[in-house]
Amino acid sequence: EQDVNEYRKSLAIRVSGFVVPKPLKTFDDCGFSTQIMSAIRKQGYEKPTSIQCQALPVVLSGRDIIGIAKTGSGKTAAFVLPMIVHIMDQPELQKDEGPIGVICAPTRELAHQIFLEAKKFAKSYGIRVSAVYGGMSKLEQIKELKSGCEIVVATPGRLIDMLKLKALTMTRATYLVLDEADRMFDLGFEPQIRSIVGQIRPDRQTLLFSATMPRKVEKLAREILTDPIRVTVGEVG
Ligand code: ADP
Ligand code: MG
C-alpha cells in the first residue's frame, strides 16, 4: 500500500472513493486483447499517461469515475479502450439495437476527434461508431443511425434532436461518457445532459471527465454517478 501511494505520488495522481484499484504501470497490465494491444502500438503509445495509469483499472473494473486532468493528458484513450472491452463483453450483440456506448462532448470538433480515436480501436472488432453532431444533414444522420451502431459520439443538442426524432433508442446503452463536462456546462448544455442521462438505464457505467470541477459539475456528478472513484492528476480541480 505504501508502494502504491508512492507510485501515485510519482504520477501526480490523487484518488478518493471506496476500494480504489491499484494504478498500473504498462498497457500489458490491462489484460487487453492482442487486437487492442496492436492498435495501441500502432498509435505509438508506449506507456500509459498518468490519468490512464489510474483511470484504466478503475473503469475496467466496472466502476464509475470522475476523472480530472488538464487538456492533452490522454483522457480519450482512458474511456475509449475500456469501452471497447465493455462492448465486446456484451452477450448477443446483435439482438438489440441502439448504441451500447454513448459519449457526449461539448463541440463538434471535440466530438469528431473522439469519433476518429474510437474508430481506430473499434475497427478490428467490427464495432460501428456513429457521429452525431452538426455538419451532416439530419436526414443523412437519421439514415446512418437507423443502419445501426454500437458507439455514438455526440454533442448534446444534436443527440437530443435525434432522440426526439426516434432515430435511435437508448435501451441497450450501458456505458455513458461525459467528456469535458465543465465546457458542456459553460456552453449551457446542462438541461440536455440531464435529459440524455434520464433516458439511459440506471444500471449503466458512467464516466465523467473534466479539466476543472466547478460546483455545478460536482453536483451533477453526485447525482448521476454511483459510488464513483475520483482521480485527479496534477494541480487542477
Ligand atoms: P485530453 O482528452 O486529456 O485532452 P487526448 O486524449 O486528446 O487528451 O490526448 C492528447 C494527445 O496525447 C493525443 O494526441 C493522443 O493521441 C496522445 N496520447 C494519448 N495517450 C497517449 C499515450 N499513452 N502515449 C502517447 N501519446 C498519447
Ligand atoms: Mg479530451
Listing DSSP states for the chain in one string gives -HHHHHHHHHTTEEEESSSPPPPPSSGGGGT--HHHHHHHHHTT--S--HHHHHHHHHHHTT--EEEE--TTS-HHHHHHHHHHHHHHTSSSTTTS-S-SEEEE-SSHHHHHHHHHHHHHHHGGGT--EEEESTTS-HHHHHHHHHT--SEEEE-HHHHHHHHHTTS---TT--EEEE-SHHHHHHTT-HHHHHHHHHTS-TTSEEEEEESS--HHHHHHHHHH-SSPEEEEETT--
Q: What percent of the chain has pLDDT over 70?
A: 97
Relative to beta strand 129-132, strand 175-178 is unpaired
70 touches ligand 1 (CB under 6 Å):
no
Atom index in ligand 1 nearest the CA of residue 46 equals 24
pLDDT (mean) for 182-204: 96
pLDDT (mean) for 229-236: 89
What's the confidence (pLDDT) of residue 177? 98
Listing DSSP states for 189-233 in one string gives -HHHHHHHHHTS-TTSEEEEEESS--HHHHHHHHHH-SSPEEEEE
Residue tagged 432522440 (cell numbers):
163
Q: Which residues pair with 153 in a beta bridge?
A: 103, 131
Model confidence at 237, in pLDDT bands (50, 70, 90)?
very low
Report the distance separating Cα 56 and Cα 77, nearest Å. 9
Q: Whose CA is nearest to atom 9 of ligand 1?
A: 74
Cα of 92 from ligand 1 centre, angstroms: 32
Which of 24, 26, 43 to probe ligand 1 with, by most ligand atoms within 8 A of CB?
Answer: 43
Atom index in ligand 1 nearest the CA of residue 78 equals 6
| pLDDT averaged over every residue in the chain | 94
What's the confidence (pLDDT) of residue 92? 65
Cα of 143 from ligand 1 centre, angstroms: 32
The model's pLDDT over 122-171, given as tens digits with 9 standing for 90+, comes to 988 899 999 999 888 999 999 999 999 999 999 999 999 999 999 999 99
Residue 231 has pLDDT above 50, yes or no: yes
Which of 73, 110, 183, 208 to probe ligand 1 with, by most ligand atoms within 8 A of CB?
Answer: 73
The model's pLDDT over 17-60, given as tens digits with 9 standing for 90+, comes to 999 999 999 999 999 999 999 999 999 999 999 999 999 999 99
103 touches ligand 1 (CB under 6 Å):
no
User: Which residues are near ligand 2, the ion (C-beta closer than 5 Å)?
Assistant: 75
Q: Which residues are CB-neighbours of 90 under 8 A, at least 6 positions away? A: 100, 172, 174
Report the distance separating Cα 203 and Cα 173, nearest Å. 10
What's the confidence (pLDDT) of residue 94? 60
Domain CATH for 150 = 3.40.50.300
Q: Whose CA is nearest to atom 23 of ligand 1?
A: 48
Q: Whose CA is nearest to atom 1 of ligand 1?
A: 72
Model confidence at 91, in pLDDT bands (50, 70, 90)?
confident
Q: What is the pTM of this model?
A: 0.96
Residue 185 has pLDDT above 90, yes or no: yes
Report the distance separating Cα 220 and Cα 226, nearest Å. 12
Q: Is residue 154 within 8 Å of 111, Cβ to Cβ?
A: yes
183 touches ligand 1 (CB under 6 Å):
no
ipTM tops 0.90: yes
Q: How many domains does the chain have?
A: 1
Query: What domain range is 57 assigned to?
Result: 2-233
